[in-house]
Amino acid sequence: QQQVKQSPQSLIVQKGGISIINCAYENTAFDYFPWYQQFPGKGPALLIAIRPDVSEKKEGRFTISFNKSAKQFSLHIMDSQPGDSATYFCAARKTSGSRLTFGEGTQLTVNP
């Protein structure tokens, strides 16, 4: 049972463009929504996170947009750079839970 669905599976963007990755969740008990970046051979690293009391959070070139009624959230990477090429995972966690539930991942390639 996939509780967090992520799309697209892969994405190719030109340098300077905007990368957009989408996630949808089913469980309304989720209250914490982080995005992780993973390079080959490395563990995931926290990029940015949001809680459902806000609709948008921005940190540098990275923005999370959150739509509580639609149960969707997305990651926007502005001015994408070749160094952003990695796999990105959205995740979600319940209010009282310990585990993170991850999406399937999006492999982003930024062409120079």
Q: Using CB under 8 A as the criterion, which residues of the chain lie in contact with other proteins when the complex forms? A: 6, 34, 41-46, 89, 91, 96, 98-105
CB of 78 to other proteins, least distance (A): 23
CB of 104 to other proteins, least distance (A): 6
Token pair 């982003």 in the structure block, residue: 108
Distance, CA of 17 to chain centre? 17
Record the tokens describing residue 77, joined without a space: 């990477």
CB of 106 to other proteins, least distance (A): 10
Which of 17, 52 has the CB closer to other proteins?
52
* Cβ contact 77:62 at 8 Å: yes
CA angle, 33 then 110 then 10, to 5°: 55
Which of 44, 86 has the CB closer to other proteins?
44
